[in-house]
């Protein structure tokens, strides 16, 4: 079966072909770098990585752009509230620029740890202010904007009749429900800021001159401006989390298509949410809400570093993501992550034994497994099914080990689990009562309580485990005689 992808624009699984033969232009909304990415954000990037790998496996060159939102994302979708970067700067007593730099690096470290393929470009919104201003000028010249004095330049959604189509919005319902909350001066609750004016009352660290006065761009305009400048006016694929459908992507479509008169993106793919399981202590026991969509604004969320400190590896989390279809919700729980870790360990035991044995896949049985695996992947990235096929293939006594080794290596180019490298599976299991001490030691190190951290290290040593702090922040161990 040729590659089929579920397109949010058509609400159906459509056969995928890029506009330019052999080349896929793909834009993915990147992080807002005012805080660490949580594992919900990372789930979306894992899904996008699986898509990228699938496209490359199908023989396409992929131009993959992931932006860095380092300005303009307000704390509310209704264009009120504070700029998240300025808020992050106040929270930490640093400059907004320092905050952006620090969290961009932290994000890219998580990216590498999860074995996500490096994008072709990582454009930062603050490096593309000129293009954003030019796009707003274009929209103004075509009559799509209006100004609210003392506030900003807004997109007039009533002038774009298809505005509600993408998210199947009920505009009348929205208008009826929003009488109280709408920003003063907005003609419709769906209108959105393209440019916000700096005001004398608020001293901003990030602001620029524009034809309409000093200020800063709205959040949505950056993605349209960067995507179209780097990839061209029509993208093959635009991705993001499902939370972006109603506002952010709807606004991106309106402003891009109003400016160019062309389709902005042919395929829209959206990743389902990672949910916090209630009562799991998913936030490390700090008493977070639990049960809803994991979000940065809740203040309590789980990062990849927290998981590493709890003794999981980034690949355990990647495997956990692979167990659910990308469009479905996925409940995060430690029990679920433990079972992903166990499955990955078992898988590695089998695949490690095959390393170095590859021979070409010639048997009918081997080729049948190959087509079953690719069938699953090409069916809108059905990786949970593909994982099941991998496990069944490994147990099939009719397939030679050499063929198995070749299939594992080929399929791992899609799964990205590092199954052709044996190192991780050599780590011996820790006794259950020692595992919680890893988190305690990480906490002591964070507090620079070296005495406590050394005492904990000694406890591991006394039981025959020598701890090793890896450069990526994770902790490994070796078994020695106690």
Q: What is the contact surface with ligand AMP in residues (CB under 6 A)?
A: 29, 31-32, 40-41, 43-44, 240-241, 243-244, 271, 273-274, 293-296
* Beta carbon of residue 106, minimum distance to ligand AMP (angstroms, whole number): 12
| Stretch of 26-34, 161-169, 351-359, 369-377 contacting Zn ion, by CB under 5 A | 26-34
Q: Find the radius of gyration of the CA atoms of the chain.
A: 24
Instruction: State how far the Cα of 300 lies from the Cα of 97, in Å rounded to an integer.
Output: 24
Instruction: State how far the Cα of 133 lies from the Cα of 210, in Å rounded to an integer.
Output: 7
Q: Does 29 help bind Zn ion (rule: CB under 5 A)? A: yes
* Beta carbon of residue 126, minimum distance to ligand AMP (angstroms, whole number): 16
* Number of Cβ within a 10 Å radius of residue 320: 26
Q: Which does 273 bind (CB under 5 to 8 A by kind): ligand AMP, Zn ion, none?
A: ligand AMP
Q: Does 33 help bind Zn ion (rule: CB under 5 A)? A: no
Q: Quick one: 246 or 357, whose CB is closer to ligand AMP?
A: 246
* Beta carbon of residue 479, minimum distance to ligand AMP (angstroms, whole number): 37
Are the CB atoms for 83 and 72 separated by under 8 Å?
A: yes
Q: Which does 223 bind (CB under 5 to 8 A by kind): ligand AMP, Zn ion, none?
A: Zn ion
Residue among 409, 383, 273 nearest 318 (CA): 383
Burial class (CB in 10 A: 0-12, 13-18, 19+), 206: buried
* Beta carbon of residue 27, minimum distance to Zn ion (angstroms, whole number): 8
* Beta carbon of residue 337, minimum distance to Zn ion (angstroms, whole number): 29
Q: What is the number of the residue whose Cβ is closest to ligand AMP?
A: 241
* Beta carbon of residue 18, minimum distance to Zn ion (angstroms, whole number): 20
Q: Does 444 help bind Zn ion (rule: CB under 5 A)? A: no
Q: Quick one: 31 or 123, whose CB is closer to ligand AMP?
A: 31
* Beta carbon of residue 41, minimum distance to ligand AMP (angstroms, whole number): 4
Q: Which does 116 bind (CB under 5 to 8 A by kind): ligand AMP, Zn ion, none?
A: none
Please state, in angstroms and as integers, the Cα–Cα distance from residue 321 to each residue in 36, 74, 109, 116, 301, following that order.
19, 29, 18, 13, 17
| Stretch of 21-29, 171-179, 417-425, 457-465 contacting Zn ion, by CB under 5 A | 21-29
Q: Which does 41 bind (CB under 5 to 8 A by kind): Zn ion, ligand AMP, none?
A: ligand AMP
DSSP state of 312: -
Supply 348's token pair: 């590695």
- The two beta strands, 12-15 and 4-7, are antiparallel
| Stretch of 58-66, 198-206, 216-224, 439-447 contacting Zn ion, by CB under 5 A | 216-224
- The two beta strands, 274-276 and 330-332, are parallel
* Beta carbon of residue 248, minimum distance to Zn ion (angstroms, whole number): 5
| Stretch of 174-182, 215-223, 372-380, 444-452 contacting Zn ion, by CB under 5 A | 215-223
DSSP state of 342: H
Please list every residue from 222 through 281 that binds Zn ion, using CB under 5 A: 223
Are the CB atoms for 362 and 352 separated by under 8 Å?
A: no
* Beta carbon of residue 433, minimum distance to ligand AMP (angstroms, whole number): 32
Q: Which does 123 bind (CB under 5 to 8 A by kind): ligand AMP, Zn ion, none?
A: none
Are the CB atoms for 209 and 202 separated by under 8 Å?
A: no
Q: Where do runs of H (alpha helix) occur along 293-333?
A: 304-309, 314-322
3 state DSSP class of 337: helix
Residue among 27, 46, 124 nearest 325 (CA): 46
* Beta carbon of residue 33, minimum distance to ligand AMP (angstroms, whole number): 8
Q: Which does 31 bind (CB under 5 to 8 A by kind): ligand AMP, Zn ion, none?
A: ligand AMP
Instruction: State how far the Cα of 37 lies from the Cα of 25, in Å rounded to an integer.
Output: 25
Name the one residue in this structure whose structure tokens are 């919104």: 125
DSSP state of 243: G
Q: Which does 40 bind (CB under 5 to 8 A by kind): ligand AMP, Zn ion, none?
A: ligand AMP
Q: Quick one: 192 or 411, whose CB is closer to Zn ion?
A: 192
Name the one residue in this structure whose structure tokens are 């070796």: 478
The CA-based diameter of the chain, rounded to the nearest angstrom, is 77
Sign of the C-alpha dihedral computed for residues 392, 393, 394 and 400 taken in this order: positive
List of long-range contacts for 393-402, beta carbons under 8 Å, 24+ apart: 393/369, 394/347, 394/350, 394/351, 396/365, 396/369, 398/363, 398/365, 399/363, 399/365, 399/366, 399/369, 400/359, 400/363, 400/366, 401/353, 401/354, 401/357, 402/357, 402/358, 402/359
Q: Which does 241 bind (CB under 5 to 8 A by kind): ligand AMP, Zn ion, none?
A: ligand AMP
Q: Which does 43 bind (CB under 5 to 8 A by kind): Zn ion, ligand AMP, none?
A: ligand AMP
* Number of Cβ within a 10 Å radius of residue 6: 19
Q: Which does 294 bind (CB under 5 to 8 A by kind): Zn ion, ligand AMP, none?
A: ligand AMP
| Stretch of 219-227, 261-269, 314-322, 376-384 contacting Zn ion, by CB under 5 A | 219-227
Q: Which does 274 bind (CB under 5 to 8 A by kind): ligand AMP, Zn ion, none?
A: ligand AMP
Residues that bind Zn ion (CB under 5 A): 29, 223
């Amino acid at each position: 079966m040729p590659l089929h992808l579920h397109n949010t624009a058509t609400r159906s699984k459509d056969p995928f072909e890029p506009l330019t033969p052999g080349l896929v232009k793909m834009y993915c909304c990147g992080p807002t770098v005012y805080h660490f990415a949580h594992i919900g954000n990372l789930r979306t990037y894992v899904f996008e990585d699986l898509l990228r790998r699938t496209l490359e496996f199908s023989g396409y060159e992929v131009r993959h752009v992931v932006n860095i939102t380092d300005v303009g994302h307000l704390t509310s979708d209704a264009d009120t509230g504070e700029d998240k970067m300025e808020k992050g700067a106040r929270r930490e007593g640093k400059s907004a620029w320092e905050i952006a730099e620090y969290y961009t690096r932290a994000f890219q470290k998580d990216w590498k740890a999860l074995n996500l393929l490096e994008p072709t470009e990582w454009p930062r919104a603050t490096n593309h202010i000129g293009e954003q201003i030019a796009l707003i000028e274009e929209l103004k010249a075509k009559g799509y904007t209006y100004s609210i004095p003392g506030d900003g330049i807004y997109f007039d959604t009533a002038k774009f009749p298809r505005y509600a189509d993408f998210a199947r919005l009920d505009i009348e319902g929205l208008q009826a429900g929003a009488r109280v909350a709408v920003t003063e001066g907005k003609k419709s609750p769906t209108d959105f800021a393209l440019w916000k004016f700096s005001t004398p009352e608020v001293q901003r660290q990030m602001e620029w001159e524009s034809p309409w006065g000093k200020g800063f761009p709205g959040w949505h305009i950056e993605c349209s401006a960067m995507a179209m400048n780097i990839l061209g006016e029509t993208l093959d694929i635009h991705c993001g989390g499902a939370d972006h459908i109603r506002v952010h992507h709807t606004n991106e479509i309106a402003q891009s298509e109003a400016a160019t008169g062309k389709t902005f993106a042919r395929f829209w793919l959206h990743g389902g949410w990672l949910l916090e399981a209630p009562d799991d202590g998913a936030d490390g026991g700090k008493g977070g809400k639990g049960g809803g969509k994991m979000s940065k604004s809740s203040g309590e969320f789980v990062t990849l570093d927290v998981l590493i400190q709890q003794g999981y590896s980034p690949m355990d989390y990647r495997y956990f993501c692979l167990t659910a279809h990308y469009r479905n919700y996925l409940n995060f729980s430690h029990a679920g992550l433990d079972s992903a870790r166990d499955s990955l360990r078992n898988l590695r035991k089998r695949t490690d034994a095959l390393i170095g044995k590859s021979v070409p896949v010639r048997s009918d049985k081997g080729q049948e497994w190959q087509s079953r695996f690719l069938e699953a992947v090409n069916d809108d990235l059905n990786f949970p099914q593909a994982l099941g096929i991998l496990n069944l293939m490994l147990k099939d006594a009719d397939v030679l080990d050499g063929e198995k080794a070749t299939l594992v290596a080929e399929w791992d180019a899609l799964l990205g689990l590092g199954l052709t490298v044996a190192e991780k599976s050599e780590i011996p299991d820790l006794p259950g009562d020692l595992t919680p001490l890893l988190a305690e030691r990480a906490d002591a190190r964070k507090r620079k309580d070296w005495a406590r951290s050394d005492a904990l290290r000694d406890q591991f040593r006394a039981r025959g485990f020598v701890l090793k702090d890896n450069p990526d922040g994770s902790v490994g161990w070796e078994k020695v005689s106690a």
